[in-house]
Structure 1
Amino acid sequence: MDIFPLLITVLSSIVVEATTIEKSKLLLQDLFQNYSKDIRPVEDQSKPITVNIDLDIVSINDFDDVAGTISMVVILYISWNDESLVWNSTSFGNTTSLTFPQSKLWIPEMFLCNPADSLQPISNKHFKVSLSSNGDVTWTPGALLTATCTPNVYRYPFDQQTCQLQLSPWGYSSQQVKLKIPSSTILFNYFHMNSEWDVKASLTYLWSGSFDIAEFFITIERRHMNFLVSVVIPVIMLAFVNLFVFLLPFNSGERASYSITVLLAFTVYMTVVSDRMPASSQPMSYISYYLLSLVGISVVIVTVNIFQIRTYSKHDEDEPVPEWVRTLYLYTQNIFRRKKVNTSERLHRPDGSDSKTNNGLDNNHILDVDSSKRNHDLFYTSILPMSQGQEKPTTDNVPMIPDHQPEVVTWHMAAKIVDTLLFFLFFSFTIATTVSYFICANVN
């Protein structure tokens, strides 16, 4: 029973002094009574003061491919120890920390060493500092930084860009201010996603020389779906639509205007892409080479189409088909029919050939008669082959084709077969060019 009154007496004798505004005012006045913010806050002025710095990116506002700049909202976490601002917290009502404007003490003003506009300190008078009783100072300025960043658009729009922010306490050598980066990566504590770019990686690096530079690297990847849907896929569609000019009838009168219209559409898309690309020649984007290839193919198609129209408009009576054109036509026809027939056998038919029909014509000589030329072109009509049970006529009963009489080939027929060949040729070129672009653009 005697212990309880004794315990109450001891506890009541303990007086806990609380922090008051008067104590804080007295502390602040005492700290800065003989303080100079123009002198580095280290007792031994021959030694450097160590400044810790970390970067926290809040948002990526813009990356300008053409200007080669990146704009970001950042927060800097800067801390150091001020040996002139140390106090005993128990002497000032257990006051362990103070917060006041940064203008009252020495701060290591940081400058962006690769700015896109002007060289200005990353701070203003509105930011606060936090001071602990052991002299540790924490300063967290924020800023909108616009830095230079040379774009690498080789793989545009599947590209990645690596940009850096170079921060340094301008005016202080490494013997006066020593930088230290506690974190190996950039911080993203308050990061807001960007609609055009994704953050893939980050890295920090400290460059030491006559003065220290803290370098912060960030790798961003473009969200390519918008450009893919609005530019790349329409260009691919135009590239394949361009080929169908060879399937239009010659007498439609639309072949030349069709091919020229597609060529103009390619030039419009080249303008759209060039507006988003840097003005320099290095680097050049693969999509620029891809569009240039498609424009080249389109120019060749327009040129070839003009000659095709000219060929189709020729009259056989005024300008006979040359022998080499007729031979090439027959050879091409054999390839399409998948029959290995020698052209010479078609010109000089041997006696006793069992491949003749009952009218003396080879089944391989079946011709497609153009409906628009039936009244003035001469063609051989095909006859159905004999049935197996029918007796084969003798050679004496089969009318022979004279050796000097060739199969009829007109300019119209030659133009049509060339159209088929050109369609498959340019189709192959377009496929190869498109596949090559996607392979090059997606290879890391």
Structure 2
Amino acid sequence: MLELSRCILVTISACIYLSGVDTGFTTTKISPRPIWNSTDTDKLRKDLLLNYDKFARPAQHFNATAVRFGLAVLHVDVNEFKSTFTVYSILRLAWTDEKLKWNSSEYGGIKQLHLAEHEIWQPDISLFNSASTISVNHYTNTHFVAYSYGEVSWSPPAQFTVLCNFDLRYWPFDTQQCHLHFLSWTYSGDQIDIDFIDSKPISLDLLINHTEWTIVEATQKKISKDYPCCDIAYPYLVVNFTIARSSPSYKAIIVTPTFVIIALTLVNFWLPPQAGEKIIINGSTALMICLFMLYFTQKLPAMGTHTPLIVMFYSSCLYIVTFSMIGSVIVMTISRTKHSKSLPWIIKQPLTGTFGKLLGLGPYIKQLTVTHRVTAEEMRDHQVSDFDDATSIDERHIMGSSSRMSKSSTQDDWILLAAAIDRISFVFYCILFGILSIVYAV
């Protein structure tokens, strides 16, 4: 027991001794004053946000918060395959926050304050017909600007993608209309009254217009809709865009070849009926049309309705070229086949007359006339008397020559018919192409 008391006494003495020795350590007295120099902005933020509830609408429940909406368009993009229309813009929202008012003279003359988007209340303005997300899809963390009189302004760059019903019937010379519907997703009109900042049209001053599409018109209007379930109106804003496709390149890529296709199809009927180049020209034209059809499948969506007229025109041209090739085969067969019978008189007479000349069959009629004249002269030159000693020899010579000339005349008759078929087909296809051009150009 004595030893225990002695140990305690020694320990106490040692502690007293060590407390008087300078060990080089100092103590810091904690004070509520921060170690940095606070500013008027720090004081203002503390006073405004200390008990601020960002989930509560900054107005009495019986007062509506007026939210003003504005849009400055930077760029537009269209995706026909997804039926979407995208607007790259600078959004502007402004409203009054009753809880963010202060006397600037009490805070060093500060009249505006920058606040992060997670610090204060913001209206739940949404894009109703969005193709991706209904929330305002801004792609930078921009701050709010609060003013001493309670005004809050927010201007983030935003991207809006909406579903749009495209009518590609007149592609690539089409004009489309797309709409953006903005509203508060949860608040009714007696809580949030959304409206445009001003009555002026949508601003296009910042538009970067070097794309395929040109904005023809951008209008805006406010609509208030009543629902059967509720007695309260729900206002929403509609921004209408009318856009037109810029198509100079399409004229060179798509429209110009149509004239080439028509020209190749029609010039085929002016070749000689026996020419085998008819098949080559028709085959090349059909191949050209098939390549363009493949191009259309890559460029255009497979839509159940509104098939582009240019696609229907190329499809019709493919049918026409196919029938033209069939006609060319028939004409070549008629002109190349050795015929034993001459052309019927009821067909030959109009072809060698005025009708044939109107069809441009003059060279063939002339060739047929020359052949008949040569045959007649040949017969006169070989006339002999019955008393001639060489009667049998001359008769054989005359009969052989007459047979050859008769076959040549018969073949020329059928060539004349083949050429007439080509000329009549030319007139028919000219009329057909004219009808197609009128129908598909309207």
Task: Give the shorter-chain TM-score range.
Answer: 0.7 to 0.9
Give 3-state SS (helix, strand or coil) of 1:84's partner.
strand
CA contact (8 A) 1:366 1:381 kept: no
Check 1:292–1:207 CA distance in 2 against 1; reply closer, same or farther (3 A cut). same
2:348 to 319, 326, 345: 326
Tell me, in whole angstroms, the C-alpha distance in 1 between the residues paired with 2:68 and 2:359. Answer: 80
CA contact (8 A) 1:240 1:427 kept: no
CA contact (8 A) 1:54 1:183 kept: no
Counterparts of 1:144-159 in structure 2, within 5 Å, are 144-159=159-174
Instruction: Give CA deviations for 1:227-272 in whole Å, capped at 9, x if unaligned.
Output: 1101111122122112222222344422223212211211221222
Give, as a single letter, the amino acid of the residue that structure 2 aligns with 1:197: W
CA contact (8 A) 1:161 1:220 kept: yes
Is the deviation greater in 176-185 or in 225-234? 176-185
Give 3-state SS (helix, strand or coil) of 1:208's partner.
strand
CA contact (8 A) 2:140 2:157 kept: no
- Any unmatched runs of 5+ in structure 2? 1-36, 226-232, 377-408
Answer with 1 or 2: which has the greater Rg. 2
Give, as a single letter, the amino acid of the residue that structure 2 aligns with 1:326: K
Is the deviation greater in 138-147 or in 325-334? 325-334
Q: Does 1:380 align with 2:373?
A: yes
Q: Determine the structure 1 residue equivalent to 2:70.
A: 54
Instruction: Give CA deviations for 1:173-198 in whole Å, capped at 9, x if unaligned.
Output: 22221111123421123211132111
Q: Report deviation, 1:165.
A: 1.5
Q: Report deviation, 1:300.
A: 1.9
Tell me, in whole angstroms, the C-alpha distance in 2 between the residues paired with 1:288 and 1:32. Answer: 63
Relative to total residues, which structure has the larger helix share, 1 or 2? 2
Is the deviation greater in 106-115 or in 273-282? 273-282
Tell me, in whole angstroms, the C-alpha distance in 2 between the residues paired with 1:414 and 1:241. Answer: 22
Taking structure 2 as the reference length, the TM-score comes to 0.75
Tell me, in whole angstroms, the C-alpha distance in 2 between the residues paired with 1:246 and 1:194. Answer: 45
Tell me, in whole angstroms, the C-alpha distance in 2 between the residues paired with 1:366 and 1:25. Answer: 104
Check 1:125–1:174 CA distance in 2 against 1; reply closer, same or farther (3 A cut). farther
Taking structure 1 as the reference length, the TM-score comes to 0.75
Q: Determine the structure 2 residue equivalent to 1:392.
A: none
Q: Determine the structure 2 residue equivalent to 1:285.
A: 308
Q: Report deviation, 1:88.
A: 1.0
Percent identity, aligned pairs only, is 21
CA contact (8 A) 1:240 1:430 kept: no
Q: Does 1:411 align with 2:427?
A: no
Tell me, in whole angstroms, the C-alpha distance in 2 between the residues paired with 1:324 and 1:21. Answer: 115
Q: Does 1:426 align with 2:429?
A: yes
Tell me, in whole angstroms, the C-alpha distance in 1 between the residues paired with 2:424 and 2:116. Answer: 80
Q: Report deviation, 1:273.
A: 2.4
Q: Does 1:100 align with 2:115?
A: yes
Tell me, in whole angstroms, the C-alpha distance in 1 between the residues paired with 2:354 and 2:188. Answer: 80
Give, as a single letter, the amino acid of the residue that structure 1 aligns with 2:427: F
Give, as a single letter, the amino acid of the residue that structure 2 aligns with 1:379: H
Is the deviation greater in 212-221 or in 72-81? 212-221
Q: Does 1:81 align with 2:96?
A: yes
Q: Report deviation, 1:207.
A: 2.5
Instruction: Give CA deviations for 1:368-392 in whole Å, capped at 9, x if unaligned.
Output: 2279xx8xxx523699xxxxxxxxx
Give 3-state SS (helix, strand or coil) of 1:239's partner.
helix
Check 1:63–1:332 CA distance in 2 against 1; reply closer, same or farther (3 A cut). farther
Q: Determine the structure 1 residue equivalent to 2:56.
A: 39
Q: Determine the structure 2 residue equivalent to 1:126.
A: 141
Counterparts of 1:215-254 in structure 2, within 5 Å, are 215-254=238-277
Instruction: Give CA deviations for 1:55-99 in whole Å, capped at 9, x if unaligned.
Output: 111112x21122211222111110000111111111111111111
Give 3-state SS (helix, strand or coil) of 2:373's partner.
coil
Q: Report deviation, 1:335.
A: 4.9
Q: Determine the structure 2 residue equivalent to 1:3.
A: none
2:222 to 184, 206, 216: 206
Check 1:277–1:420 CA distance in 2 against 1; reply closer, same or farther (3 A cut). same
Give 3-state SS (helix, strand or coil) of 2:114's partner.
strand
CA contact (8 A) 1:57 1:191 kept: yes
Give, as a single letter, the amino acid of the residue that structure 2 aligns with 1:369: Q
Equivalent residue pairs, number? 365
Tell me, in whole angstroms, the C-alpha distance in 1 between the residues paired with 2:149 and 2:422. Answer: 88
Q: Determine the structure 1 residue equivalent to 2:358.
A: 336
Q: Report deviation, 1:328.
A: 4.1
Check 1:303–1:328 CA distance in 2 against 1; reply closer, same or farther (3 A cut). farther
Give, as a single letter, the amino acid of the residue that structure 2 aligns with 1:164: H
Tell me, in whole angstroms, the C-alpha distance in 2 between the residues paired with 1:154 and 1:115. Answer: 25
Q: Determine the structure 2 residue equivalent to 1:15.
A: none
- Any unmatched runs of 5+ in structure 1? 1-19, 339-363, 384-406
Give, as a single letter, the amino acid of the residue that structure 2 aligns with 1:288: V
Tell me, in whole angstroms, the C-alpha distance in 1 between the residues paired with 2:249 and 2:289. Answer: 19
Give 3-state SS (helix, strand or coil) of 2:366's partner.
coil
Q: Report deviation, 1:411.
A: 0.6
Q: Report deviation, 1:151.
A: 1.1
CA contact (8 A) 1:207 1:213 kept: yes
Q: Determine the structure 2 residue equivalent to 1:117.
A: 132
Q: Does 1:68 align with 2:83?
A: yes
Is the deviation greater in 218-227 or in 416-425? 416-425
CA contact (8 A) 2:69 2:94 kept: yes
Tell me, in whole angstroms, the C-alpha distance in 2 between the residues paired with 1:159 and 1:365. Answer: 48
CA contact (8 A) 2:80 2:300 kept: yes
Give, as a single letter, the amino acid of the residue that structure 2 aligns with 1:246: F
Give, as a single letter, the amino acid of the residue that structure 1 aligns with 2:367: V
Q: Report deviation, 1:142.
A: 1.8
Check 1:412–1:366 CA distance in 2 against 1; reply closer, same or farther (3 A cut). closer
